[in-house]
Chains A and B, each alone.
Chain A
Amino acid sequence: MLFGIYSLLSAGIFLVLDALDVAFIEAAVGAGISTVLMLSTLALTERKEKEPRHKAVLPLLVVLVTGAALVYGTLDMPDFGDPKAPVHQHVAPRYIQQSPAEIGVPNMVTSVLASYRGYDTLGEVTVIFTAGVGVLALIADRRRTRRRRRRG
């Protein structure tokens, strides 16, 4: 449940950061489908976590050290919202200036997704198909063995 709220909150963050399409997807797929999947898994397995046997000091230490290293790494990153950041210099200006004329769709995200980087979307569909086949193989096999057990 909390997980769904987290997903919805991050959709709100994307909205504030001008990423309308990403916010839609996150609200629909992240908050919707993920929550349903998570809840159904919990229904199929155990609902409560068992008490951990060992203290969680070593993981905390590892996390703190990694976090400190990452913060140190951000020190020479460009500022938040800086228009002169290197991200905005190379490919994006061409998309922003040319895509309305070249593709004819006012939404640049759509034109980049479906046209300029269409192969990415093809790869994405392949990944989803593979994941679907994997899930079916895992779950459908389970049903068959259960039936076999009932017969035997």
Chain B
Amino acid sequence: MGILGHYNYWIVIFLMMVGFYIVISHGNLVKKIVGLNIFQASVFILYISMGKIHGGTAPIVAEGVSRYSNPLPHVLILTAIVVGVATTALGLALVVRINEAYGTVEEDEIHAKDSSL
């Protein structure tokens, strides 16, 4: 396969960098959380693509199947998705609370209000 065998990593890196770019370039806190989520999903895809085996099937025991994909990354990512949604909910609640206290979700406006106090 040579160097083209790594294409799954490149897709993951592209998604990861899109998320990273959104986090560091946008001042809007909701957009920052969206960026974090895109970053997170890219890590999920990294793990799941590592568990894939050519010619393997889903890791459920069936007659006449001897080659399964790796079940361990699936379990780890199953846990990670649920934890990710929980942390997203917490982050969004913080954003709602910040909006309540400052009247804005833009980072520079929050800084301006803080320094004017």
Give chain A's interface residues, CB within 8 Å of chain B: 3, 6-7, 10, 13-14, 17-22, 25-26, 29-30, 33-34, 37-38, 41-42, 44-46, 49-50, 52-53, 56, 59-60, 62-64, 66-67, 70-71, 74-75, 77, 79-83, 85, 87-88, 91-92, 95-96, 100, 106-109, 112-113, 117, 120-121, 124, 127-128, 131-132, 134-135, 138-139, 142
Please give, as numbers and ranges, the residues of chain A lying within 8 Å of B45 by CB-CB distance: 10, 13-14
Task: Assess the A25–B30 pair: CB atoms within 8 A.
Answer: no
Please give, as numbers and ranges, the residues of chain B lying within 8 Å of A91 by CB-CB distance: 72
Task: Assess the B79–A18 pair: CB atoms within 8 A.
Answer: no
List 13 other contacts, CB 8 Å, given A34-B85, A63-B24, A138-B94.
A25-B78, A34-B88, A45-B105, A74-B13, A75-B6, A83-B53, A87-B72, A95-B71, A96-B68, A106-B61, A109-B78, A117-B75, A135-B89
Task: Assess the B85–A59 pair: CB atoms within 8 A.
Answer: no
Give chain B's interface residues, CB within 8 Å of chain A: 1, 3, 5-10, 13-14, 16-17, 20-21, 24-28, 30-31, 33-34, 37-38, 41, 44-45, 48-62, 67-79, 81-90, 92-97, 99-100, 104-106, 108-109
CA distance A44 to B97 in the complex (A): 10
CA distance A121 to B82 in the complex (A): 10
CA distance A75 to B17 in the complex (A): 18
CA distance A37 to B56 in the complex (A): 36
Please give, as numbers and ranges, the residues of chain B lying within 8 Å of A10 by CB-CB distance: 41, 44-45
CA distance A83 to B50 in the complex (A): 10
Task: Assess the A106–B105 pair: CB atoms within 8 A.
Answer: no
- For the residues of B in contact with A, the DSSP-based class is helix
Q: Shortest beta-carbon distance, B106 to chain A, in Å?
A: 5
Please give, as numbers and ranges, the residues of chain A lying within 8 Å of B75 by CB-CB distance: 109, 112-113, 117, 120
Please give, as numbers and ranges, the residues of chain A lying within 8 Å of B58 by CB-CB distance: 18-20
Please give, as numbers and ranges, the residues of chain B lying within 8 Å of A33 by CB-CB distance: 85
Can you list 14 A-B contacts with CB-CB less than 8 angstroms, sorted by A residue number?
A17-B69, A19-B48, A22-B48, A29-B85, A30-B84, A41-B96, A67-B16, A67-B17, A108-B68, A108-B71, A120-B75, A121-B79, A124-B79, A134-B93
Please give, as numbers and ranges, the residues of chain A lying within 8 Å of B31 by CB-CB distance: 49
6 tightest A-B contacts by CB?
A79-B5, A131-B86, A81-B54, A59-B25, A18-B69, A74-B9
Task: Assess the A70–B82 pair: CB atoms within 8 A.
Answer: no
Please give, as numbers and ranges, the residues of chain A lying within 8 Å of B52 by CB-CB distance: 17-18, 80-81
